[in-house]
Structure 1
Amino acid sequence: MTGDTTSLRALADAQGGVVLTAQALAGGWTRGRLGRFLASDGWARIRGGAWLAPGREAGPGELLWAHQLLRPEFVVSHWSAAALHGVEGGPPARPEFVCAARAAVKGVRLHRLPLEPGEVTAVGGLRATTVARTMADLLRAGPRDEALLAVDSALAWRHVAAPGARGARRPPLTTLDAIGRALTSAPALRGARGAAWWLALADPRAGSPAETLARLRMHDAGLHPETQAVLVVPATGRRVYPDFLFRRQGLVVETEGYAWHGSRAQHQRDVIRFNALAACPEVRRILRFTTADVRDRPALMIRDIRAALA
């Protein structure tokens, strides 16, 4: 049987745009005919033995497909798995996998860790660690702040960019208990003790990465406000949820998320919310900080909060 182009393209569509030379040969192609077709049709060599369909770029997802097709025992993990699950966090510098056996592959970060069958799931066709196991791995590996940014993202309702869907939100991806079980299932792994301490700092109510970072900065400074406290506007009965509330001093601390309030509607909602907070009897002062303040000028943020609390 001679391989046909339609089947080859269909196989690529089912595999993130990637086809292996070995798969094509098993489908009836000869090496010579396959090489001529790939060259004339514009396929790109993504790595040895793996080809990328025309019109596609070798992004993180395509690289994961190529490596996992070549090494089926590799399970997508850590930051690569977090990205697959839709967890907020920095993109991995290179594909990350878990594999129980010792191996070395150029361009891949491989973690030699044990995995239980229930800790592996399918995400878009790729085999990856579950959300709970992924968060446990990130907590064990650290650094703390980056890991907790991912954990809070996985635990919380988060706004998502959906075409034509204004204000769409995705539900939490996992629970604190599930992450805790994933941590305790392998207590002997390096970093497990510190990970358990860090997990205690997670907050499913966090509304944005900036809010998570601000909470961690305040925690490190010995400041422990209420998060997402429920306040009621007397005149309207409307409920509002300040990011942080120092109830005894009547101080609210608000953080601006990464999304810029650029439209008139967004700006209007922001003004209404600010006025509603100011109308609550528990609130005597409101401090607002941008993402840049939280990320790049945390000492100044803490100084201003301490001054307002004095």
Structure 2
Amino acid sequence: MPGLVASHRSAARLWGIEVLREELEFTDPLGAGRKTGARVHWLPLPPAEITVVGDLRVTTVARTLADLLRRGPREDAVVALDSALSSRRYGGRQWRGPLIGGLDTVAAALDSPPVARSAGAVRARRWLTLADAEAGSPAETVARLRMRDAGLRPESQARILTPTGRLLRPDFFFREEGVVVEIEGYAYHGTKEAHRRDRSRYNDLSSCPEVRAVLRFAAEEVFTAPDAFVGRVRAAVEGVRVGAGVRLG
């Protein structure tokens, strides 16, 4: 069915944009209601929002992100946004750079008809403000959203200089309280070797005078036990605030 255009999660996969769940999805620009074995969206597509990847017609990166924002859920959409804004590394090497230079093109896609009048467009504009180009993985994005929902607002990828002069960038840092939060897991950081390198820097983090506590979480904890994850972070932050900051991790 050559008239269909790969879109939403299918387009994200083709562009190298990370998503939390994969699904075969297309958009029919003609809205012809043709039957197929995949999910098909019936929404007009301007020619400027269609490009070619390999031999497939695909929605542009901006339109792909706009579609994911409209459809949701929130975590899925923001994970895709963060991924497109950021470089991605695998095995210690960069395998692609940022796919968009900023959010202006995505905002323009959301504002263009008929997207602006479609279901979920107003909500999508709110979610657009949640993007963070500093996010290093889907798990970090979800962790940030979980903490934000709980009223916790750490710095992402903060810069910390160790006593030996090494520059470190932990996933999250509550600078005033001195609490570092790291999200582990080689499934998202690339390889087991990269995972070991991540773990080796915890000793350096602990040596920094401004760091009072280092919390480490597996990616699976963020996804499957969000309440416990947020509870531990809150306990560490509030413990330091009341003068009971015990080094954790």
- TM-score, length-scaled by structure 1: 0.70
The residue identity in structure 1 corresponding to 2:222 is V
Match of 1:171 among 85, 91, 97: 97
Q: Show the counterpart of 1:209.
A: 138
* Number of equivalences: 233
1:32-181 equivalence runs, <5 A: 70=1, 72-89=2-19, 90-92=21-23, 94-160=24-90, 167-174=93-100, 175-181=102-108
Q: Tell me if the contact between 2:179 and 2:211 (Cα under 8 Å) persists in the aligned partners.
A: yes
Q: Which runs of 5+ in 1 are unaligned?
A: 1-69
1:199-238 equivalence runs, <5 A: 199-235=128-164, 237-238=165-166
> Aligned equivalents of 2:36 and 2:209: distance in 1?
61
Q: Which runs of 5+ in 2 are unaligned?
A: 239-249
Q: Deviations over 1:44-99 (max 9, x none)?
A: xxxxxxxxxxxxxxxxxxxxxxxxxx3x322111111111111112220x342232
Give SS of 1:168's match.
strand
Q: Deviations over 1:204-244 (max 9, x none)?
A: 11101110110011111111111111111132x22111111
Classify 1:83/1:105 alpha carbon distance in 2 versus 1 (closer, same or farther; 3 Å): same
> Aligned equivalents of 1:307 and 1:128: distance in 2?
46
Classify 1:270/1:292 alpha carbon distance in 2 versus 1 (closer, same or farther; 3 Å): same
> Aligned equivalents of 2:65 and 2:210: distance in 1?
36
Q: How much does 1:261 deviate?
A: 8.1
Classify 1:200/1:247 alpha carbon distance in 2 versus 1 (closer, same or farther; 3 Å): same
> Aligned equivalents of 1:278 and 1:260: distance in 2?
21
Q: Deviations over 1:119-156 (max 9, x none)?
A: 11110111110111101000001111111112211111
Q: How much does 1:108 deviate?
A: 2.5
Q: How much does 1:309 deviate?
A: 1.2
Question: Percent identity over the alignment?
Answer: 48
> Aligned equivalents of 1:267 and 1:111: distance in 2?
39
Q: How much does 1:198 deviate?
A: 0.7
Q: Tell me if the contact between 1:250 and 1:285 (Cα under 8 Å) persists in the aligned partners.
A: yes
1:258-273 equivalence runs, <5 A: 258-259=187-188, 263=192, 265-266=193-194, 268-273=196-201
Q: Show the counterpart of 1:194.
A: 123
Q: How much does 1:268 deviate?
A: 4.8
1:278 equivalenced with 2:209 (yes/no): no
For structure 1, which segment, 246-255 or 179-188, has the greater mean C-alpha deviation from structure 2 after superposition?
179-188
The residue identity in structure 2 corresponding to 1:198 is W
> Aligned equivalents of 1:142 and 1:81: distance in 2?
15
Give SS of 1:145's match.
helix
> Aligned equivalents of 2:191 and 2:67: distance in 1?
37
> Aligned equivalents of 1:292 and 1:172: distance in 2?
26
Q: Tell me if the contact between 1:96 and 1:109 (Cα under 8 Å) persists in the aligned partners.
A: yes
Q: How much does 1:173 deviate?
A: 1.1
> Aligned equivalents of 2:87 and 2:28: distance in 1?
28
- TM-score, length-scaled by structure 2: 0.87
1:293-308 equivalence runs, <5 A: 293-308=221-236
Classify 1:267/1:134 alpha carbon distance in 2 versus 1 (closer, same or farther; 3 Å): closer
